[in-house]
Structure 1
């Protein structure tokens, strides 16, 4: 049996409910319970680690027995493991749910298997309803499950001839206000912003996400400074609304593991050529944002340094996802080539 029009409508509602929960270690999930006639009985969403999952949250609004024979519409496959809360599969079975419709399969080996167990218990299960929309909602979380670490965007601003600063080290500003506003908007979408200690000492960035008028976005990324030198007591980053995280930079994979454990899903690296080059060299950049200003600077201050390429055959080719004009500047968004992408281009 395929999903009904009312189940599709309920899935759209569940997808709208899911972002009400926080982005973190756990996925953002929404759920809607429909009566056998297709009427909405209850809604719910996951409100954060340690709280009821979306299905259980929705069921909590119903009286005992009210969900018997009903359909649960969920954005993610119901979990089948006990963590800080019990398995959602148990709650659905105990409530007498007769049918489950969900968008995205759970890729986590620990929590997956809910659909199989529901089917084994006699519950009708329909998977993949509005799967593209569900995957888009869970994009960052799914990336963490696939990579075992957060998604990493490496950003830099450069002149047309590839310089990030003048010979004396000054770099404010190469790009114009529109490009800088775009950077701040992207910072607000990230869970953490990472800068190198050299850039922090040279430029004293606040690492906050600010609107053009200087006011702070509601969502602020966790500020992270990499390097062994001390952060001055009067540094602007110490006035960030979130606590500063330090890392010595010797093992960037370890840093990403720490951030993952803190619930970080999106990392925005914009802390200077040394740090950008290190993430690129270690193969930890999932996306590159290059803001290019129509200006010439010359000199030794390149936007990117050693990325581990010693011969032209070892160059790291990227796929250009987009090229946009932002004010007087260009933004090129590029991502590492994958085997699938290379196959598609043959």
Structure 2
């Protein structure tokens, strides 16, 4: 892996969830495989040490006073920023835990924006717990967009794994609302951001974008709806006129076959499940949530807090390990792109 100019910042997530244990497990796995990039956790040295002891994870915790110490501390163990901490309470979310998660996220964003960290990896949070302490964002993505001074629509969620990348154009809305939310402008705006992100952060010079159809058989000539011909096809034609290698609309039942996946670098999907079902079916333990369109690099494991299994040693750290590696690779690609 290309050496990084600064470490990655990893946020704690909700301390009552599986975030602490997958951070520890991911770090130890990557270290054993000699793939661990320089990184530090934003707070929680005592919490992480208690988690390691409770679950018998042999991960040395190295408290640091400043992110600049992380690169050298990484040679000894997992660097963790001192000053933010909390108690180990697996499966028992609380206002105190939510406050710790929010403080870790805020500091992580500041470190990434100031380039003290080359990227941000966020562990999962509980939106309901955060709402209880005054959080008014739909999720971490929207918070980070706000922190970066960007409108929410510029923060594009891409789910990425070893063999597939998908982008839901509409996210947490009822399926019945999707047709009314789709527009040629929405498709084109997000497609431009995805193409730009694939170039700058993944080193793909000529990204190929597959655009999914909304309706079965892409509407079957209007028999199953006219959105594919009326909205999606004109947007694709306009993107092609701009020089973006977009094609479609591709019926959803044909878009994710092994042969089809070889023909594109990312699939833009019309609604949440159209994008997430194939990604989770194919890449569940290695799926990464990537935010494109921001000045900072941000990745996250594609799973939630899993309060039901927290503290039991059952959580698989694979997705967190993949998120850490992908953030490092994106940082290296972005540095190379900018000379």
- Asked if Structure 1 and Structure 2 have the same fold, meaning a TM-score greater than 0.5 normalized by the shorter chain, the answer is no
TM-score (norm 1): 0.30
Q: Which has the larger radius of gyration?
A: 1
User: Higher strand fraction: Structure 1 or Structure 2?
Assistant: 1
TM-score (norm 2): 0.31
| Larger RCO: 1 or 2 (CA < 8 Å, sep 6+) | 2
